[in-house]
Each structure stands twice: as C-alpha cells, then as structure tokens.
C-alpha cells in the first residue's frame, strides 16, 4: 500500500498558518512547530522527538542541518535536513527564551561540600532537580544528588555505587538533551 503524498500549502495558506500560530497562547513554540513542518518537512511525531543535540552544531550553536536520528524518524529512516534561515531564527529564539544552566552537578553533596572546604571556600550547595538549575545558580551550586548505596571517599569510588554513577551520567546527558544544561562535565580523578 503506497502512502499518500502530502499536500503542499500555497503561499497564502502558509502565511495564514504562521499568523494563526502567532495568535495562540504559545506563539513562539507554535510558530517553531509550524516552521519545523513547513521548512524542514518534519512529521508531528518527529517534531515531538526532536532534541537539541539533533539541531545544534559542534560549537553549540544552531547547526546547518537537523540530524534526525533513526529513533525519532518514521520507519527508523533518519536523515539530514538543511535548516532554512527562517527556521534557524525561530530555533535560536526558542533556545534563548529561557537560559539553560551552564552546568549542573550530579554528585554526592557531602563529598562536594568536603572538597569545597578542603579548597578553602564555602560553596552553598543546593539539592535540586536538573530543571531547577537556572534558578538555583544565584543562590549556590546546583547539585542533583546521587543515590549512592554507600558513601564514597574522594578519589576512591566504591563499586557498590556503579549503578548510581551510571544513572547520574544518563540523567546528566538527558538534562543536556532537554536543554536544562549546556554541558556534561565528569571528574574521573575524584574530588
């Protein structure tokens, strides 16, 4: 069974749709969704699964192509899609609507506090969810606490905490993918 060919909107219909998007409750978001469909040819399900790492270039700015992954594409048919200038502008506006935290620490708060004390400064540590990092920065260091099985000693991690460490790395990467942080920093030598 052959699929149906999508109908192409006229310039007038496109203009009307964009005007309508701006008149809705979430105009920037809806304008971006319309442009992702019109200018990049993305389907609704692909738009819903789009993450920043598919849109950003290696320097962290909006890239020149959308790297639609197989996992986000219909029938696992990932592809590279050039980013139209008006879509690039809308993506940049959406990304800049609320600042993401420059980083979020996923660590055992006690070890972090001890490291700060050894370094000779008081660093207020605020336990948060990654999504709350931006607000926490003005008051202290945003830390998403690890759920360790046993207390690690600085520089001497316990094998009993391997699962929690892997989970924290996965949560950190997810925070970047969702735009809650801009980078993941690891500390392989310990604090």
Nearest to 79 by CA among 109, 48, 111, 46: 46
What is the DSSP-derived secondary structure letter of residue 189?
Answer: T
Q: pLDDT tens digits for 94-139? A: 887 766 656 667 777 777 777 777 777 666 777 777 666 666 666 6
Question: What pLDDT sits at residue 188?
Answer: 45
Q: pLDDT tens digits for 152-186? A: 666 677 788 788 778 877 877 777 766 666 666 66
Say if strands 79-82 and 65-68 run parallel, antiparallel, or are unpaired.
antiparallel
Report how far residue 82's alpha carbon sits from residue 54's, in angstroms, rounded to the nearest whole number: 12
Question: What pLDDT sits at residue 33?
Answer: 94
pLDDT at 149 over 80: no
Question: What pLDDT sits at residue 68?
Answer: 92
Q: pLDDT tens digits for 9-25? A: 899 999 999 999 888 88
Question: What pLDDT sits at residue 137?
Answer: 62
Nearest to 95 by CA among 83, 106, 107, 80: 83
Question: What pLDDT sits at residue 172?
Answer: 77
Q: Is the dihedral of CA 81, 79, 44, 64 positive or negative?
A: negative
**Three-class SS of residue 147?**
coil
Beta bridge partners of 126: 142
Q: Residue 39 CA to chain centroid, in angstroms?
A: 22
């Amino acid at each position: 069974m052959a699929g149906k060919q999508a109908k192409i909107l006229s310039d007038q219909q496109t203009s009307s749709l964009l005007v309508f998007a701006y008149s809705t409750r979430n105009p920037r978001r809806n304008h971006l969704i319309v442009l992702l469909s019109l200018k990049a040819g993305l389907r609704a399900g692909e738009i819903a699964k789009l993450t920043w790492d598919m849109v950003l270039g290696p320097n962290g700015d909006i890239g020149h192509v959308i790297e639609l992954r197989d996992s986000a594409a219909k029938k696992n048919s990932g592809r590279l899609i050039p980013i139209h200038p008006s879509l690039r502008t809308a993506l940049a506006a959406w990304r800049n609507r609320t600042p993401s935290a420059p980083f979020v620490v996923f660590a055992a708060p006690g070890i972090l506090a001890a490291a700060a004390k050894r370094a000779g400064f008081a660093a207020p540590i605020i336990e948060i969810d990654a999504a709350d990092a931006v607000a926490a920065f003005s008051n202290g260091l945003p830390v998403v606490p690890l759920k360790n099985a046993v207390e690690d000693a600085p520089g001497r991690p316990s094998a009993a905490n391997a699962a929690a460490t892997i989970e924290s790395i996965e949560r950190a990467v997810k925070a970047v993918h969702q735009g809650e942080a801009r980078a993941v920093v690891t500390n392989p030598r310990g604090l």
